[in-house]
């Protein structure tokens, strides 16, 4: 004995059942072991058929000592059981203890496998460990970080030196991702590093609570690379190094960012974003952000694991590096060549919510874009007060004060008091031209009460006068209580409402216009070349449409427009303005008449009165009483104009005045004697002759290519008859 040269054999076997096997110091014991113990010469081997490691079942295992004199234990086995039990066994093992006391709390649902190979010298030499944990579609939760990974599949390998995993497959908030794990750094100061990659949207990135806010501004998915670094040892109890660091990076290709420019981007654009997060103290998180070329932020978030909120921070745009300020709240410093305020808030929190955490804004803006309008060279300074934010605006085109209460109400509405607002047409607005532009319309029930006054409103240089607008909530939406725009050129008074109804939204508007000169008023609103000189005007509009108040468009309207224009002159009418009622074609018509009406056209046709009523219905405009009374003729327009198909079905009647152009026409047509006879007849039978001397034309075709045809016979009583002709 021990028969090293084969001169004999020593062997003893016996069965064990219900035995506890304490196979290695620090490792959880095997319990309820059933198997065979065999001594053979110098060696010892235990073959285990069944047993329990905590709550996990041992499928097979062996413990072997090749030479009892050398006392090296080799343990190999396979275990399957609840992941929570295997994680607990790993944490209390020497490997887990060596990895660190600050390993995160981990909750594993479902069963895992563990393959273990231990070489344990029973002397001071170090242990050797080889192991593999198999994940079998397990759900893994890290409660400290409010993070859940679903259906984790793959293997994690570990040794006494560390652990690693490659290409673990899992799902993060429903999105497929791949996960790598490593231990990096020297022994005793190791960091656990987890790298996660996948195409993710806002909800998967930040969680359900924060996504409700973020998804209003960000949509789509892009490839993200997230690296979580967790120190596994508290290096020094006085060391305030963070318990973890999270680095997020993406080029954002595939994601649309609906924020004012320069923060906005389309889905097809690439723009690098890098975010770093690490805790400062319990439930307090520091966040740094680099976005594109000029956007930098340093933020401190409180209660980040449950309901993140901003404690303090600084955002800089084209203004250098951001630093965490000492005072609470958000400070914004910006140098902006262009800032686009496009769209409308789609949620009540989008209105006053962002201002609640604000402390101060300092911004210089080269061009401030408001939808389709813009103002140049604006300085903006905003300061938080007790119950809201006060914003001072200053520039040659825009000056005034905006007050935004934290809780807007009818008693304390959002108030914009402007000394001047000089707008001009915005050119190349990405917010309006881009196919990815945010076109969402808000629920009017959420809109805040607002009062807006502008003492000097201008548009593209035209002086529009003083504006006052008052909008207040009312059942179902918001009401335009007051709208006034007054100047020497016009006085417009309007009211209306915007309501949320079953299946959508509806709006109503009532407005009156008084203008001493219609042409000048229309020119001030951008309709230059309307072809009307002088013309004191009264107009009444009463319309409604399916849609939001800002979606006002002629083709949507249902209702009426009454128009009365006093003495003026009808000049060459610009096609863009005159096509709707056919005035452009009146000019062409007069030029085409066989009679000479040149006195009506040079330098323009004077008229005493223009009046009519228009009915808007399903994208059509009807009239059966548009009349132009002129010294030389009476012109009547009846019929329909389509705002959708952009075509006509109208009848135009020209009735010459015998005291004006008709004698000239008669002289040209039948000589001076005929002209004199007509003049005599005028004195005796003026009305009858006027009725007999009528020129009726049919106007059809498109706006761009109208077709006018002289009718040889009396037309139907009401061609193109619509609602206006049913009175």
Q: Is 484 exposed, middle or buried (0-12, 13-18, 19+ CB in 10 A)?
A: middle
Euclidean distance between CA atoms 132 and 91, whole angstroms: 14
Q: How far apart are CA 638 and CA 622, in angstroms?
A: 8
- Write down the pLDDT at residue 579: 42
What is residue 572's predicted lDDT score, i.e. its pLDDT? Answer: 57
pLDDT the model gives residue 342: 54
Q: pLDDT tens, 60-99?
A: 999 999 888 888 989 999 999 999 888 888 888 887 777 6
Confidence of residue 442 (pLDDT cuts 50, 70, 90): confident
Instruction: Provide the pLDDT for residue 428.
Output: 63
pLDDT at 560: 96
pLDDT of 694 reads 79
Query: What SS3 class is residue 126?
Result: coil
Distance CA 373, CA 526 (A): 13
Q: How many CB atoms lie within 10 A of CB 198?
A: 18
Percent of the chain as helix, strand, coil, to the nearest 5: 15, 55, 30
The mean pLDDT of the chain is 81
Tell me what the mean pLDDT of segment 349-377 comes to: 80
Across the range 220-239, mean pLDDT stands at: 77
From the centroid of its chain, how far is CA 532?
43
Kindly tell me if the per-residue pLDDT of 269 is higher than 70.
yes
Taking CB atoms within 8 Å and a gap of at least 24, the contacts of 54-57 are 54/28, 54/81, 54/85, 54/86, 54/88, 54/89, 55/81, 55/82, 55/84, 55/85, 56/80, 56/81, 56/82, 56/85, 56/86, 56/89, 56/114, 57/81
Q: What pLDDT is attached to residue 539? A: 95
Distance CA 442, CA 438 (A): 11
pLDDT of 407 reads 86
Q: What is the pLDDT of residue 722?
A: 45
- pLDDT reading at 672 higher than 70: no
Say which residue, 494 or 462, is predicted with more confidence. 494
Q: What is residue 648's three-state secondary structure?
A: strand
pLDDT band for 354, please (50, 70, 90 cuts).
Answer: low
Minimal CA–CA distance to 229: which of 290, 169, 184, 163? Answer: 184
Q: What's the pLDDT at 345?
A: 52
The pLDDT score that the predictor gives to residue 615 is: 95
Q: Give pLDDT, residue 209.
A: 62
pLDDT of residue 594: 35
pLDDT in tens, 126-183: 888 899 999 999 999 988 777 889 999 999 998 888 889 999 999 998 899 999 998 8
Residues 512 and 494: their CA atoms lie apart, in Å, by: 6
The residue ranges of DSSP E strands in 554-672, in sequence order, are: 558-565, 568-570, 605-607, 609-617, 620-629, 633-642, 647-656
Confidence band for 581, pLDDT divided at 50, 70 and 90: very low
The enclosing H or E element of 590 equals: helix 583-592
Q: pLDDT for 606-659, tens place per residue? A: 889 999 999 999 899 999 999 988 887 888 999 999 988 889 899 988 888 755
**Are 567 and 534 in contact, with CB atoms under 8 Å apart?**
yes
Higher pLDDT, 223 or 264: 223
Percent of the chain exceeding pLDDT 70 equals 79
Which residue has 């209460």 as its token pair? 405
- Considering only the C-alpha atoms of the chain, give the largest distance between any 2 of them, rounded to a whole number of Å: 159
Residue 723 vs residue 1, higher pLDDT: 1
Which helix (DSSP H) or strand (DSSP E) does residue 95 occupy? helix 94-99
Three-class DSSP category at 215: coil
Per-residue pLDDT reduced to its tens digit, 320-332: 999 999 999 999 9
Q: Which whole number is the average pLDDT over 409-423? A: 95
Q: Is 72 helix (H, G, I), strand (E, B) or coil?
A: strand
């Amino acid at each position: 004995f021990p028969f090293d040269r084969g001169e004999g054999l020593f062997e003893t076997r016996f069965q064990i059942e219900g035995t506890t096997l304490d196979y290695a110091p620090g490792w959880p014991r095997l319990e309820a072991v059933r198997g065979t113990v065999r001594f053979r010469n110098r060696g010892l081997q235990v073959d285990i058929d069944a047993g329990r490691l905590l709550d996990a079942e041992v499928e097979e295992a062996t413990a072997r000592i090749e030479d009892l004199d050398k006392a090296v234990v080799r343990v190999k086995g396979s275990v399957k059981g609840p992941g929570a039990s295997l994680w607990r066994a790993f944490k209390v093992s020497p490997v887990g203890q060596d990895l660190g006391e600050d390993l995160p709390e981990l909750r594993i649902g479902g069963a895992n496998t563990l393959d273990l190979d231990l070489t344990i010298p029973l002397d001071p030499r170090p242990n050797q460990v080889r192991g593999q944990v198999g994940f079998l579609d397990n759900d893994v939760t890290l409660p400290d970080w409010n993070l859940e990974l679903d259906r984790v599949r793959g293997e994690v390998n570990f040794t006494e030196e560390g652990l690693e995993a490659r290409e673990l497959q899992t799902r993060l908030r429903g999105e497929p991702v791949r996960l790598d794990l490593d231990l990096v750094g020297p022994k005793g100061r190791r960091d656990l590093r987890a790298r996660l990659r996948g195409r993710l949207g806002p909800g998967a990135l930040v969680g359900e609570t924060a996504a409700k806010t973020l998804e209003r501004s960000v949509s789509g998915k892009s490839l993200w690379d997230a690296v979580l670094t967790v120190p596994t040892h508290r290096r020094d109890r006085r060391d305030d190094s963070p318990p973890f660091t999270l680095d997020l990076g993406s080029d954002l290709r595939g994601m649309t960012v609906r924020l004012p420019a320069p923060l906005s981007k389309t889905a097809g654009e690439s723009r690098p974003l890098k975010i770093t997060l690490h805790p400062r103290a319990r439930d307090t998180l520091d966040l740094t952000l680099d976005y594109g070329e000029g956007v930098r932020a340093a933020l401190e978030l409180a209660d980040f694991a449950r309901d993140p909120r901003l404690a303090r921070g600084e955002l800089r745009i084209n203004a250098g590096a951001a630093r965490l300020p000492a005072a609470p709240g958000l400070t914004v410093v910006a140098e902006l060549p262009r800032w686009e305020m496009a769209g409308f808030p789609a949620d009540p929190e989008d209105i006053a919510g962002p201002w609640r955490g604000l402390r101060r804004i300092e911004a210089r803006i080269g061009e401030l874009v408001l939808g389709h309008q813009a103002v140049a060279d604006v300085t903006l300074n905003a300061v938080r007060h007790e119950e809201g934010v006060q914003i001072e605006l200053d520039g040659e085109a825009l000056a005034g004060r905006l007050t935004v209460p934290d809780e807007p109400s009818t008693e304390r509405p959002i108030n914009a008091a402007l000394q001047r607002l000089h707008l001009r047409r915005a050119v190349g607005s990405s917010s309006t031209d881009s196919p990815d532009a945010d076109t969402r319309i808000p629920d009017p029930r959420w809109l805040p009460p607002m009062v807006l006054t502008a003492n000097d409103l201008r548009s593209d240089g035209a002086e529009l006068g003083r504006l006052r607008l008052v909008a207040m909530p009312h059942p179902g939406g918001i009401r335009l209580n007051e709208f006034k725009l007054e100047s020497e050129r016009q006085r417009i008074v309007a009211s209306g409402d915007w309501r949320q109804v079953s299946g959508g939204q509806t709006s109503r508007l009532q407005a009156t216009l008084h203008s001493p000169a219609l042409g000048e008023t229309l020119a001030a609103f951008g309709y230059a070349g309307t072809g009307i000189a002088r013309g004191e005007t009264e107009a009444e509009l009463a319309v409604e449409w399916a849609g939001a108040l800002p979606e006002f468009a002629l083709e949507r309207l249902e209702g009426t427009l009454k128009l009365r224009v006093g003495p003026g002159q009808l000049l060459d009418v610009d096609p863009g303005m005159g096509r709707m009622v056919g005035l452009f074609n009146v000019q062409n018509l007069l030029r085409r008449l066989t009679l000479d009406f040149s006195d009506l056209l040079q330098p323009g046709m004077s008229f005493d009165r223009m009046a009519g009523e228009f009915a808007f219905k399903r994208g059509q405009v009807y009239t059966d009483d548009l009349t132009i009374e002129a010294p030389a003729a009476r012109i009547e327009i009846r019929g329909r104009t389509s705002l959708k198909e952009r075509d006509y079905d109208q009848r135009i009647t020209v009735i010459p005045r015998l005291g004006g152009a008709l004698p000239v026409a008669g002289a040209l047509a039948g000589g001076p004697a005929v002209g004199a006879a007509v003049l005599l007849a005028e004195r005796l039978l003026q009305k009858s002759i006027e009725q007999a001397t009528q020129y009726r034309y049919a106007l059809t075709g498109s706006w761009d290519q109208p077709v006018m045809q002289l009718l040889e016979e009396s037309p139907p009583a009401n061609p193109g008859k619509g609602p206006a002709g049913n009175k």
